[in-house]
Structure 1
Amino acid sequence: MNQYLVLIVEDDEKLAVLLQTYFEKNNFATLVAHDGLTGVQLVHERQPDLLVLDLMLPGIDGWEVCRRIRKNNDVPIIMLTARDEETDRLIGLEIGADDYVTKPFSPREVVARAKVILRRTYKQPPSQLVRAGNVLIDIDRHEVRKDEGLIDLTPTEFKILELFAVNCGRVLSRLQIVEKIQDYAFDGYERTIDAHVKNLRRKLEDNPKEPRLIQTVYGVGYKLMGSGDGNE
């Protein structure tokens, strides 16, 4: 499943939640910040594909956020403002905003404008994300998060999890896993794969003894249960 990552920087918590809800209903991944400095930090740390930026923010305003980001980042920016003055819009566009939406607005309009900008900016969604329960696997960024916390995996563990992710819901035999990642000699491969799966479950499952994400299909192999898949 391919998703764009949208960062919403909005100090009105109710409006931020509303925008987040509409973006996620349209298959976007989201992050939220409630002040300008946190927004700038998240742009540098998480490299979102789109920034929805309120103009009036505590600490530093949206104009200053935009200026700082544009020094070394060309992420598309949609500015939100309660003021409908042509001068404000021109300033925002001149310092690097890609679009400008005046409050009050429909969240559907913001999502629609975001889709237009992203289609124009990217030919294909740039980041491949797979969600399995409370675990988010970002293949392109080589990151795994559980409940927003970063999970530390070994290179081999990530290779196996990536293989599960791109085949989400499909059963993979131990031999298929070995052939795909090509890290092991043939002898003893079953025990080796089982050991890595055990470690992945320890790091990712809420209860490793009763795994719900990486399930065993007895006599065949393993499969990753993505969001929307029924547990067996």
Structure 2
Amino acid sequence: MTAEASKNLPRILVVDDEHAIQRFLKTALDPGEFSVHLADSGHAGLAAAVAVRPDVILLDLGLPDLDGIEVIRRIREWSQVPIIVLSVREREDDKVQALDTGADDYLTKPFGIGELLARVKVALRRSLQQAPEPVFRVEELEVDLPLRRVTVAGVEVQLTPTEYELLRLLVSHAGKVLTHSQILKQIWGVAYLEQPHVLRVNISNLRRKLEADASRPRYILTEPGVGYRMRSGG
């Protein structure tokens, strides 16, 4: 591939101090599909984020100089580039903190390359969209945002105003994990941050109206202990 052709590929910045992980990701992320750039510390990652202007960042939290959470915080001061955390940290608190700070997704090591590629492609689609698609579709679910119309298999679904705003928020961030606190703050305000049952009830109501089997949801997916993610269309 020519240098000119590689300039047109999506740029992926990998920030991880494990060279084995760097080599694995550089090989796994097809060089014909992505342009992969590497950084092995937090400060190097921040510098590369400015120099490379990546389309997606894959970030480890356990860096030798800066904690990954601080890297996320500094990047979010000036950029909304999608950040996918790749970390051995499995605690729910770590995931929630990373997502609340501004990460878009979180995968726990070890992870499957198929799942990583799927998450990267979702992040790329979101980064290329300046605004949500006017009509969101996934399988039988269709959400027409301008008309505020929701259908499943062609049949219109009646939602309460709160249910619709909750669905709109999830659809507008399809493929991205939204934490409980992010959703509560956005839909109900900061006064409801300590009332997660309000969110659970509304998610349950939405699933009963949208899903063929609410106990096995296909659209609104649960990230245990963290939040919810709308399955990406397309």
Q: Given the two structures, how large is their TM-score scaled by the length of structure 1?
A: 0.51
Whether 1:89 and 2:95 are equivalent positions in the alignment is yes
**Alignment counterpart, residue 15 of structure 2, candidates 9, 16, 23:** 9
Within-5 A mapping of 1:44-123? 44-123=50-129
Distance across 2 between alignment mates of 1:90 and 1:116? 20
Q: Residue 26 of structure 1: CA displacement? A: 5.8
Return the offset for 1:20: 1.2
Runs of 4+, deviation exceeding 2 Å:
none
Using the alignment, how far apart are the partners of 1:77 and 1:12 within structure 2?
18
Deviations 1:170-204 (A, max 9, x none): xxxxxxxxxxxxxxxxxxxxxxxxxxxxxxxxxxx
Deviation at 1:123, TM superposition (A): 4.4
Query: In structure 1, what is the Cα distance between the partners aligned to 2:92 and 2:19?
Result: 27
Structure 1 residue 47: Cα displacement? 0.7
Q: Which amino acid aligns with 2:23?
A: V
Q: Is the 8 A contact 1:22 1:108 kept in 2?
A: no
Partner SS state of residue 94, structure 1: helix
| 1:82 partner letter | V
Equivalents in 1 of 2:93, 2:108: separation in Å? 13
**What is the match of residue 38 of structure 1?**
44
Distance 1:111 1:52 in 2: 11
CA separation in 2, counterparts of 1:26 and 1:96?
A: 29
Taking a change above 3 Å as real, the CA distance of residues 53 and 83 of structure 1, as seen in their structure-2 partners, is same
Distance 1:103 1:95 in 2: 20
1:9-60 residue CA offsets vs partner (Å, 9 max, x unmatched): 0111011111111113461001000111000001011111110000100000
Query: Matches of residues 108-147 of structure 1 in structure 2 within 5 Å?
Result: 108-123=114-129
Question: Which whole-Å deviations, capped at 9, do the CAs of 1:90-124 have from their partners, x for residues lacking one?
Answer: 10001100000001112232122100111122149
**Residue by residue, what CA displacement relative to the aligned partner does 1:45-76 show, whole Å, maximum 9, x if unpaired?**
11111100001000001111111111111110
Name stretches of at least 5 consecutive residues in structure 1 with no aligned partner: 125-232
Identity of aligned pairs, percent?
Answer: 42
Q: Distance in 1 between matches of 2:107 and 2:32?
A: 19
Q: Is the 8 A contact 2:56 2:124 kept in 1?
A: yes
| Cα-Cα RMSD | 1.6
Bigger Cα Rg: 1
> SS state of the match for residue 24, structure 1?
coil
